[in-house]
Amino acid sequence: MQNHPQKNECPPGGDLALEPKKLTLQVSRVQCPMRIDQYLTRQVENATRNKVQEAIEDGRVLVNGKSVKSNYRVKSCDSIEMTFLRPPAPELAPEDIPIDIVYEDSDLMVVNKAPGMVVHPAFGNWTGTLANAILHHFGTDAEELETDELRPGIVHRLDKDTSGLIIVARNPTALHRLARQFADRKVSKLYTAILWGVPEPQEGTIHTNIGRSRRDRKVMANFPYEGLEGKTAITDYRVTENLHWFSLAELTLHTGRTHQIRAHMQHLGHQILGDTTYGGASLRTLDFPRSESFVKNLLDLLPRQALHAASLSFHQPTTGRPLSFTAPLPEDMAQALEKIRVIYRSAREA
């Protein structure tokens, strides 16, 4: 199992005593020899080469139980133990940040999260998150929630650059019951995405296992379905608008793996437009005049993955009443989609 230590930096507010964070890595059987400082920088989220080398020099990196130097070359099946030093988490503080509340009752609220907003704080990113905004909005009612965990009432999460609907519980009982609905797959989540190209067939289900990439632990990879690596991941997709070079698609999650939709669209060969991690942000030449300029402008307009949590259905945790909500496309996706429609119509009329 791999944990993800963060950058060895203190948050604003002065020097804090550093605390250890240990992780263990098992090198893949197919790993080519590589310097251990390079390997760990690639494999450990938010690690820098300087911090890795510092840990090696301090004897906080062991390979097969022994200290090594930075030029040690990892081999297949090596067992690596590494201890990072990091500051303890500061207390979560309420912040008066505007949030788009779609629905609210005594047990929960549904928020339409803006793209670019982090859901909860983590090392190196302490403020401006949805969790900070939640504390401010709940006021004294937030005392019922466990704010020391930095994610008060947050039942599930969205990536920073994914927009759309997210549920927040207002009390521990609602949090538990909503989490159970997610675990039992009784929550319906429908996403909208702009894809490169048009999948064929235009409707189907993707079955793979998803786990950390063997080459880069910061990225999720697809493995054989129900195999030994990764966890089962199932996504339904349906093209709702065929735009020849692009398509608008609806995606339904049946499981909730990290980066599931983004990794599955890469597996399908139709990455999400603007996705820098999974190959959707590269410049491409399309078969119409001045396409390079069009694509560059499109990616400048949409410097994130064009993925939006558009619809959410579940049951109210106290009454059991079915609840269903939708959120329109955010402005950046709507503008990008309209530009694509214009160029598509022009090509058809030519």
What is the DSSP-derived secondary structure letter of residue 106?
A: S
Residue of 37, 78, 159, 161 marked catalytic: 159
H or E stretch at 308: strand 307-315
Q: Of 275, 296, 276, which Cα lies nearest the Cα of 286?
A: 296
Q: How many residues does the structure list for the chain?
A: 350
Q: What does the DSSP assignment read for 17-82?
A: --EEEEEEEE--TTPPPEEHHHHHHHHSTT--HHHHHHHHHTT-EEETTEE--TTPEE-TT-EEEE
CA distance 195 to 280: 8
Q: What does the DSSP assignment read for 8-29?
A: S-PPSSS----EEEEEEEE--T
User: How many Å is the maximal CA-CA distance in the chain?
Assistant: 69
CA distance 350 to 346: 6
Asked if 191 and 307 touch (Cβ cutoff 8 Å), the reply is yes
326: left (phi > 0), else alpha (psi -120 to 50), else beta?
A: beta
Q: Tell me the three state secondary structure of residue 101.
A: strand
- Please indicate whether residue 159 is annotated as part of the active site: yes
Which residues does the annotation mark as catalytic? 159
